[in-house]
Amino acid sequence: MTDPLWFDSEEMLIGGRWLRAADSLPVENPSNGETFAAIPRGGAREIDAAVAAAHEARAGEWGRMDAATRGRLLSSLGRLVAERAEDLARLEAMDVGKPLAQARADALALARYLEFYGGAADKVHGTTIPFLDGYTVYTLRQPHGVTGHIVPWNYPMQIIGRSVGAALAMGNACVLKPAEEACLTALAFARLACDAGLPAGALNVVPGLGAEAGAALSAHPGIHHVSFTGSVATGAAVQAAAAANVVPVTLELGGKSPQIVFDDADLDAALPFLVRAGIQNAGQTCSAASRILVHEAVADKVVARMSESYRALRVGPALEDRDMGPVISARQKGIVEGFLAQAGDLTVAARAEVPDGPGHWVAPTLLTGAAPDHPLAQAEIFGPVQVVIPFASEAEALAIANGTDYGLVAGVWTRDGACQMRMARDLHCGQVFLNNYGAGGGVELPFGGVGKSGHGREKGFEALYGFSQLKTVAALHG
């Protein structure tokens, strides 16, 4: 196999310089368990240096750059990412275990985020406000300053695109702490950012452990905004750390998202979405459709057809580009298997075959017979496990859908327009998809949750408001 690394992965980017840390962390390929690279183990000292470099960038060329020039730089970076999409995809596939086609889609999504935010950079502005005679009042939309970005391992490129892309577009200088399990595409992205001509310190990337680099970043008094995606427990810790500095935080913490299938649904249209949204990225997706709520009149038919799809799933090494790869790590496999051990009297409707041998394989598993309050119908499993729950009425479907601590995404499958509107209004979540699920991931669509799924919105124009603040200017001139 050709070496997918075209750069020194043991170097991190701080203030425009590529530096090594005193220690490094191994990089494992989840498809075979082999160590194939190393990354720096940054800690408090490196975070400190990165925050200082970001402040210098804000005070220098980056802070003075006009919005249109900033936008053009991001657009150029997007083109570089698109040109290297194949290399980035291979890197991600080896690092995360994501099938090549899904990794390629992530790379192209990163390019698209940069195109979108590059184009938007000079189109976000304040307003004038009619006020008392003798005054002119207007608002200025300005960057927070230095923003921290703590990114998980499941969709590194997409999450960097939506958070770092939007923050840079608004003129913030960023300190990015990728997940220790998945730093390679973040480091590759930083190389491309240098090639695109991003001024020193505008983007700093410090790989390292969550408890070290992540904790140092979220508690740093020099950070003005933190964007975090990951688990509820870590998100709460990040928010608490940032609160000590009275710093705003955006939290995207996952979910237990339902797809709700009514008895008049177009099942042929729904079925591919029902399964794909559960097993995509081995179920390690914040917006995974881990609960399938089905009207009892069509429940047997839906389970039978989903089971057929499950049995046909091809699971294998990421570079072989099957339907599903391994989960990220032995630890994550242990977490998912721990949940499956609680399945107890649930029925395994279908399970796909997984490879023998090394690699972190978890069989895609479709479960029936769970009451809505069963632990497997409540907890975010973050693995390829879906639970089917029948319902008898629209009111019951809504109660079950809203009956978890989470509220990220929901899908509704029905031809009844009034039912669609009621569900869209009453579902307790941040995004509702009617007769689809995910809308192809559109970068234009604001994204985020309610409840334990977090708060704040990324993606679309909404992210540009989140990564900036409004200043009101009132001039009394007579």
Applying CB under 6 A, the residues found at the interface with ligand NAD are 150-152, 154, 177, 179-180, 210-211, 214-215, 218, 229-231, 234, 237-238, 252-254, 286, 335, 380, 382
Nearer to ligand BTL among residue 76 and residue 431 (C-beta): 431
Least spacing, CB of residue 229 vs ligand BTL, in Å: 7
Output 253 or 377, the one with its CB closest to ligand NAD. 253
Instruction: Identify the CA nearest to 360 among candidates 382, 387, 388.
Output: 382
Binding residue for ligand BTL, selected from 29, 204, 287, 309, defined by CB under 6 A: 287
Residue 286 within binding range of ligand BTL, rule CB under 6 A = yes
Phi-psi region of 16 (alpha: psi -120 to 50; beta: other; left: phi over 0): left
The candidate with the shortest Cα–Cα distance to 452, out of 228, 253, 239, 310, is 253
Residues carrying an active site annotation: 252
Which run of H or E residues covers position 225? strand 225-229
> Is 138:128 a contact under the CB 8 Å cutoff?
yes
Residue closer to ligand BTL, measured from CB, 154 or 368: 154
Task: Choose from ligand NAD, ligand BTL, none: what does 158 bind? Cβ within 5-8 Å by kind.
Answer: ligand BTL
| Shortest Å distance, C-beta 399 to ligand NAD | 24
Among 102, 154, 378, 404, binds ligand BTL (CB under 6 A): 154
Q: First CA to last CA across the chain, in angstroms?
A: 75
Spatial distance between the Cα atoms of 275 and 290, rounded to a whole number of angstroms:
9
Stretch that binds ligand BTL, among 284-292, 370-378, 391-399, 429-437 (CB under 6 A): 284-292
Candidate list 158, 234, 365, 468; residue touching ligand BTL; CB under 6 A = 158
List the one residue out of 332, 232, 235 whose CA is nearest residue 282.
Answer: 332
335 binds, among ligand NAD, ligand BTL, none (CB under 5 to 8 A by kind): ligand NAD
Residues contacting ligand BTL: total by CB under 6 A = 6
Q: How far is the CB of 454 from ligand BTL (least distance, A)?
A: 11
Work out how close the CB of 328 gets to ligand NAD at its nearest, in angstroms, rounded to a whole number. 8
The CA distances from residue 9 to 107, 190, 223, 465, in Å, are 18, 11, 26, 34
Residue 218 touches which of ligand NAD, ligand BTL, none (Cβ within 5-8 Å per kind) = ligand NAD
Q: Read out DSSP for 137-163?
A: EEEEEEE-SEEEEE--SSSHHHHHHHH
CB of 154 to ligand BTL, least distance (A): 5
Ramachandran bin of 74, using left for φ above 0, alpha for ψ from -120 to 50, beta for the remaining angles: alpha
Strands 431-434 and 409-413: parallel
Residue 290 touching ligand BTL (CB under 6 A): no
Interface residues with ligand BTL (CB under 6 A) are: 154-155, 158, 285-287
